[in-house]
Amino acid sequence: MESGFTYEDYRNTAEWLLSKIKHRPQVAVICGSGLGGLADKLTETQIFNYSDIPNFPQSTVPGHAGRLLFGSLNGRACVMMQGRFHMYEGYPLWKVTLPIRVFQLLGVDTLVVTNAAGGLNPKFEVGDIMLIRDHINLPGLCGQNPLIGPNDERFGVRFPAMSDAYDREMRQKAHSTWKQMGEKRELQEGTYVMVLGPSFETVAECRMLQKLGADAVGMSTVPEVIVARHCGLRVFGFSLITNKVILDYESLEKANHEEVINTGKQAAQKLEQFVSILMASIPPPDHAS
C-alpha cells in the first residue's frame, strides 16, 4: 500500500503547473459524475488534459472529462477537476489522491468536493442536494486508507483528526446561501458513506448502510477529504442525490450509471449555481501565512 509518490514527485507536478498558470488558485473543486458543467462558469480559463500533466492518472469513467481547469469563479482563483479518480478503476489510493497534495503545494487552502450519490435517507428525493456533514469510510475500516505507509511530516501529522473534517462555518454559510436562493426543496444535510464499487449495492447492503447511520452512498470523495484534512485544507462538500437506493426485495427497479448522469443534469445546474455563489463566502487567503 506504500505511496508510489515521493514529496519531490508532488513538487515536480506542482512546479510544472505553476510554470504554466496565470493565477495561483486558492480553492480546488472536484466535479463528480455529471457535475463537470461547473467548469463553464469559470472565467479566464486555462485547461490541461490529465494526460499532459506529469504523474497524473487518467479518468476512465463516462461523465468524467479528465481535465484540470484553472480560472476565476465568482471572484475566487480556482482549480477544478473535471473528473476524478476511483479505486474501482484500478488505481491505488495514493494515485486517487495525488491531485490534493499537488493543490496544496499550489497554494490552495480550501477543497470543495461534489459527487453523485444514492439516497439512503427515506426523506430524500431524487434531485436533492445533501450538504456533507460527516462520512463513513467503509473501505478505510476494512484496511484501505490513503494515508497508509510512511508519513511525510511536510504534509501533515501521522494521526490526523477527522471529527471536524467538514468545515462547520462553511456549512452554516451554505444553509444561509440556500435560503437566499429561495429553493422549494430544503437543503439536506447528512452523512456520506463510501463503498468501493463499481457494482451497486445489494438490498441487504443498503439496509445495513442505513442502520450504520448513512444518508447517502457513493464510490468516491472520502479518500480526497482525508488527504485534504491531513495537509490542512478546509473542506466542504455536497452530494447530488441522483437515485434512491433499493431497499425492497419486491422492487423491479435497478440502479444504473446512465440514470445517475441523466437525473443529475437538471439538478446539477442548481448545484453548480449554488457552489458558484458560495465561492464568495470562502474566507480570502490569509496573506500572513
Active site residues: 33, 64, 86, 88-89, 116, 219-220, 243, 257
What cell does 169 get?
A: 462555518
Phi and psi torsions of 62, nearest 5° = -55, 140
CA–CA dist 122, 107 (Å, integer):
40
> Do 128 and 188 meet the contact criterion of CB atoms below 8 Å apart?
yes
> Do 65 and 82 meet the contact criterion of CB atoms below 8 Å apart?
yes
Helix (H) or strand (E) holding 189: strand 188-194
Which residue blocks in 89-128 are alpha helix, DSSP H? 93-96, 98-106
Strands 188-194 and 216-218, by their bridges, are parallel
Phi and psi torsions of 25, nearest 5° = -75, 145
Q: Angle at which helices 7-18 and 98-106 pack, to 10 degrees? A: 60
CA–CA dist 227, 138 (Å, integer):
16
